[in-house]
Amino acid sequence: MGERRNGHMIGNGWRGRERAIVGALRLPAARRWQVEESLEELSGLVAAAGGVVVERVMQERQAPSPSLYFGRGKVAEIAEAASRQKARLFVCDDALSPIQERNISKELGIKVIDRTALILDIFAQRARTAEGKLQVELAQLTYLLPRLIGQWTHLERLGGGIGTRGPGETQLESDRRVIRRRVMQIKRELQRVQVHRRLQREGRRRAGVPVVALVGYTNAGKTTLLNRLAGSHLVAHDQLFVTLDPAARLVDDAGHAPFILTDTVGFIRKLPHVLVAAFRATLEELAVADALVHVVDASHPAIDEHMAAVNALLAELEVADRPIILALNKVDRMEPGPGLDAVVDRFAGIPISAATGAGLDRLRAAVEATLRPGARAITLCIPHGEGAALALAYDRGRVLGRQDEPDHVRLEIELPGAVLGALRSFQVV
């Protein structure tokens, strides 16, 4: 058996896995426990990427060092630890500039990456669809471009001319052009994906089926919940970033109005902006959803930070105004009693367990009430010339039946109370 250090098993149990050291700075504005939790999460990301953390380091500084991010003495300590632990990788919890990354790697003599590069590596492993692979490649190239240029700054500083012409400068310009050309090509392909998704969404709208999107921190249990509600069998594991490619499934239980449930990539603290930009085509599903279900791991000690990270990204994507239902998941991992009651009362959420099915009836009822506030089933007769009224009926209502007559369309439809007034003149009493 291997030995346990820093909460991670090392030794025989991890033979063959890449050994890594993770590190972070504690700046004056951060509390120690926040940095420790972030390092714990970073260790989980390393494990998700196929590595094992053999040591963690933290340094308190007023500000990062411009050249090494950490202090020179701390970098020397990391080098000694890497030699002692036979680590071949150092992962920084915060974004490193190309110069910092290169300088630390030179001092340590091992590979150095930051949280962004690590998440990109995980995404590259998990992408399955052509769209997912394109989005990951776009993010990787966007991340790589300044680092590629940084590798050649010794030539650029010389200002060209004598001593700088030749294969080095030519290679830099060539690599720049290749990357930028590929970025433009990927963006064109993703635009075609966006058009295809838009057509799919319009088809769902015409069918009168509302859309509910699952959002939440990575590993909160969104895919397990989708499987439970829709009877699907998507891959779900207790691991960070299992779901990368979006999925949509019909939820159609007896006695309930059907709706489309979509799953999206999980959010995380310090989510790289290159990923947010690259995955906008996927995250557009949130913008057109009729409601969002925010799935939270109620058993996690960092529940506040997880919720804050999700809410901040929803605000950045300009979808925070959507009706949001809070699902406090994984209550099966909590002891019933005052502790669980306090969490439910504090966050005003619905306690559920996607794993066992507990509380899903309440969640289903809450979704239905949100989608159809004051909904009523009525009959409409809309003349063929009233295209706007027909579009509104399909856009906001749930069509139960349609009959095309020579001069009008007869709809049996369920409409929310807010729309009834706009279409009342077409109602058949």
pLDDT given at position 1:
34
Is 316 contained in some domain?
Answer: yes
- Claim to verify: residue 114 and residue 139 sit in the same structural domain: no
pLDDT at 353: 95
Assigned domain for 203 exists: no
Extract the tokens encoding 274.
């290159």
Walk across the sheet containing 291-297 and list its strands: 247-251, 259-263, 211-216, 291-297, 324-329, 350-351
Boundary-marking domain end, from 193, 226, 248: 193
Answer yes or no: is 201 within a domain.
no
In the chain, count H helices and then E strands.
15, 15
> 13 with 146, same domain?
no
Give a yes or no: residue 200 inside a domain: no
Q: Are 90 and 56 in contact (CB under 8 A)?
A: no
Q: Which CATH number characterizes residue 82's domain?
A: 3.40.50.11060
* Burial (0-12, 13-18, 19+ Cβ within 10 Å), 244: buried
CB 345 within 8 A of CB 304: no
Identify whether residues 215 and 336 lie together within a single domain. Answer: yes
Residues 262 and 307 in one domain: yes
Which stretches does DSSP call E strand in 264-375?
A: 291-297, 324-329, 350-351
Task: Decide which of 327, 350, 371 is a domain's last residue.
Answer: 371
166: DSSP letter: T
In terms of Cα–Cα distance, which of 25, 64, 24, 148 is closest to 98? 148
Domain span at residue 420 reads: 376-426
Provide the residue count of the chain. 429
What DSSP line would sit under 89-144, residue for residue?
EEEESS---HHHHHHHHHHHTSEEEEHHHHHHHHHHHH--SHHHHHHHHHHHHHHH
Q: Structural domain tally of the chain? A: 4
Instruction: Look at residue 202 and tell me if it is in a domain.
Output: no
Same domain? For 392 and 257 the reply is no
- Give the mean pLDDT per block of 10 residues along the chain (429 residues): 37 62 94 91 90 95 95 96 95 93 93 91 79 83 76 43 47 78 89 77 68 89 90 62 66 76 82 71 73 94 91 86 92 87 91 94 89 79 91 81 91 79 86
Measured distance CA(357)–CA(53) in Å, rounded: 35
Is residue 83 located within the same domain as residue 16? yes
pLDDT at 7: 36
State the pTM of this model: 0.72
| Residue 293, beta-bridge partner list | 214, 325
Residue 58 has a CB neighbour count (10 Å cut-off) of 17
Determine the Cα–Cα distance for residues 327 and 354; give it in Å rounded to an integer.
10
The SS3 of residue 74 is helix
Please tell me the predicted confidence (pLDDT) of residue 172.
67
* 286 and 362 assigned to the same domain: yes
241 located within any domain: yes
Cβ atoms of 232 and 257 within 8 Å: the answer is: no
Residues 147 and 222 in one domain: no
Cα-Cα end-to-end distance for the chain = 77
Is 155 a domain residue?
yes
In this structure, the answer to whether residues 220 and 322 fall within a common structural domain is yes
pLDDT at 57: 96
Cβ–Cβ < 8 Å for 275, 239: no
39 part of a folded domain: yes
**Is the CB of residue 228 less than 8 Å from the CB of residue 354?**
yes
